[in-house]
């Protein structure tokens, strides 16, 4: 081998090492991107689960309200039910009717319907519910709202959604689903 070809071989030796290092750096960024995507997907999954639980709970109370249409005005709440209220964890000693429905709904909002190692895990974070009479509605209508704490700030619920306002620190963390139930008068 002459000196010229030997010099060319020495220069090419470092190229494969450099290619390997560049490949490792590119793969590292790709893996970090996948980890970030996975974290965001978990957040979206938790938010989706909370929204589906809230829809189940708002429909549950709508069914209870419709079933007891004669006493519907007594379901109206002055403060949110659920997290932070004074309802007992065992509703079996509560009288049937509005009081039992309110107690059971409160416990469902707190997640007490599903326990894991004694901790309530069956609902969303900080679940609360409100029942308000819609002023001037004919037939009488009631706004049912279920709120909970989201994992990341978005736009605060607007309009008439005042249920649990300012109870989650930043109102942009408050999520809400609303359903209006109209109570028709049965009979002639």
Query: Could you tell me what percentage of the chain is helix, strand and coil, using 3-state DSSP and rounding each to the nearest 5?
Result: 45, 15, 35
In this prediction, residue 16 carries a pLDDT of: 82
Angle formed at CA 70 by CA 64 and CA 75, multiple of 5 degrees: 50
Model pTM above 0.75: yes
Q: What was the pLDDT predicted at 169? A: 85
Nearest CA to 84 out of 65, 106, 62, 104 is that of 106
Query: Residue 102 has what pLDDT?
Result: 92
List average pLDDT for each run of 10 residues in the chain, which is 188 residues long: 61 75 95 94 90 93 92 92 90 90 92 74 86 90 93 81 84 91 79
Domain boundaries, the chain: 3-182
109 Cβ neighbours under 8 A, 6+ residues apart: 57, 81, 82, 83, 123, 127, 128, 129, 146
């Amino acid at each position: 081998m002459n000196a010229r070809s030997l010099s060319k071989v020495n220069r090419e030796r470092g190229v494969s090492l450099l290619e390997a290092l560049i490949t490792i750096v590119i793969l590292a960024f790709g893996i970090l991107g996948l980890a970030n995507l996975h974290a965001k997907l978990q957040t979206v999954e938790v938010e989706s689960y909370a929204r589906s639980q809230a829809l189940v709970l708002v429909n549950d109370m709508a069914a209870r309200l419709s079933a007891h249409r004669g006493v519907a005005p007594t379901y109206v709440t002055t403060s949110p039910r659920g997290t932070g209220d004074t309802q007992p964890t065992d509703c079996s000693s509560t009288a049937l009717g509005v009081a039992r429905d309110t107690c059971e709904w409160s416990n469902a909002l707190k997640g007490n319907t599903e326990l894991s190692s004694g901790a309530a895990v069956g609902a969303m974070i900080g679940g609360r519910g409100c029942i308000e009479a819609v002023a001037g509605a004919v037939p009488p209508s009631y706004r049912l709202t279920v709120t909970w704490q989201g994992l990341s700030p978005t736009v605060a619920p607007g309009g008439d959604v005042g249920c649990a306002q300012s109870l989650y620190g930043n109102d942009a963390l408050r999520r809400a689903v609303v359903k209006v139930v109209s109570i028709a008068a049965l009979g002639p």
